Amino acid sequence: MASDGTALTGLWFNGQKYFAEGLAETAAAKTLPVFDEAVRWLDIYFGGRRPDFTPPLNLEGTAFRKEVWQLLLQIPYGETITYGELAAQLAAHNGLKRMSAQAVGGAVGHNPISIIVPCHRVVGTGGSLTGYAGGLAKKLALLKLEGIDTANFTIPAKGTAL
Just list the catalytic residues. Answer: 119
66 closest CA partner among 27, 132, 117, 18? 117
| Measured distance CA(95)–CA(158) in Å, rounded | 35
- Asked whether 118 and 161 are in contact (CB, 8 A), the reply is no
φ, ψ for residue 19 (rounded to 5)?
-50, 125
The answer for residues whose C-beta is within 8 angstroms of residue 54's C-beta and 6 or more apart is: 41, 73, 116
The answer for residues whose C-beta is within 8 angstroms of residue 88's C-beta and 6 or more apart is: 98, 99
